[in-house]
Amino acid sequence: MPEPDRSRAGTERNAGMANLGIPRNTIEILQKYNFNFQKKYGQNFLIDTKVLDRIVAAADITGEDCVLEIGPGIGTMTQYLAENAREVIAVEIDKNLIPILEDTLCGYDNVTVINEDVLKLDIRGLAEERNGGNPIKVVANLPYYITTPIIMGLFESHVPLKSITVMVQKEVADRMQVGPGTKDYGALSLAVQYYAKPEVVANVPPNCFIPRPNVGSAVIRLTRYEVPPVSVEDETKLFSLIRASFNQRRKTLANGLCNAPDLGLSREQVAGALEKMGLPPAIRGEALTLGQFAELSNLLY
């Protein structure tokens, strides 16, 4: 017997629940609650059912999964997730959206909404409590200004994760997956690629949102590595080294590292390490691979 398509099951099993991926339904609920968009939260609500289906498919949500959704908004993606996952924990910072979420999600008994700043939430504790410490899947539509803190916070706090599937500004998605020698390559690229395999699964134009953002977006899936692809003695030192290497992109790697007071490195130490690696003294940080940064960190510390 073929597997049923559950992406639209909400319209069947919860007959009274309007599919918010359809623009007119989103407009109706916004008007019903006289909702005012908060610029400080970077609110842009998705109104494209094909993109919603694509995100759920890319995140590979199954009936066994516990999903953490960051920034559910009015519950558009939450509805799709609830139809496919065992449990959805939706964390929304804007208290004005809570009554709307109670309305749009009232037909789902597997959704918990938490009115909190996700950066202040004990996600490890939440995963332990709601999923027995087993890896969770994260799905989110993130405003650009907070993308990096949220993603790096999830990785660095060692939350048990299978994957993070997020809608972000296209430029940020590009930055996460590029390699050395490109203008977008930097500390974010290296940090993400240390923890996960990045893959852009969809590009999303501005007309797929209410209100329309000024830039294009992309959906990127970060599949968490069980073991990082490189071996380092000290993760903290590695990332301090990477940040210092890109703080002043126009400078050589040696100058960037020697000018970073928190690293406490001398020019002789850096020159000696680069020589051991067979790298020229005038090389810039943007030319090094993740593996080379790991080797450099191990030599210096």
- Quote the pLDDT of residue 250: 79
Residues of the chain with confidence (pLDDT) below 50:
1-13, 15
- Quote the pLDDT of residue 14: 58
99's tokens:
């009554």
- Quote the pLDDT of residue 216: 95
- Quote the pLDDT of residue 231: 95
- Quote the pLDDT of residue 4: 33
What whole-number distance in Å separates Cα of residue 225 and Cα of residue 290? 15
- Quote the pLDDT of residue 2: 35
- Quote the pLDDT of residue 16: 58
CATH numbers and ranges of domains, the chain: 10-224 (3.40.50.150), 235-300 (1.10.8.100)
**Concatenated DSSP letters of the chain:** -PPP--TTTHHHHSTTS--TTSHHHHHHHHHHTT----GGGT--EE--HHHHHHHHHHHT--TT-EEEEE--TTTHHHHHHHHHSSEEEEEE--GGGHHHHHHHTTT-SSEEEEES-GGGS-HHHHHHHHHTTPPEEEEEE--GGGHHHHHHHHHHTT--EEEEEEEEEHHHHHHHH--TTSTT-SHHHHHHHHHEEEEEEEEE-GGGEESPPSS-EEEEEEEEPSS-SS--S-HHHHHHHHHHHHHTTTS-HHHHHHT-TTT---HHHHHHHHHHTT--TT--GGG--HHHHHHHHHHH-
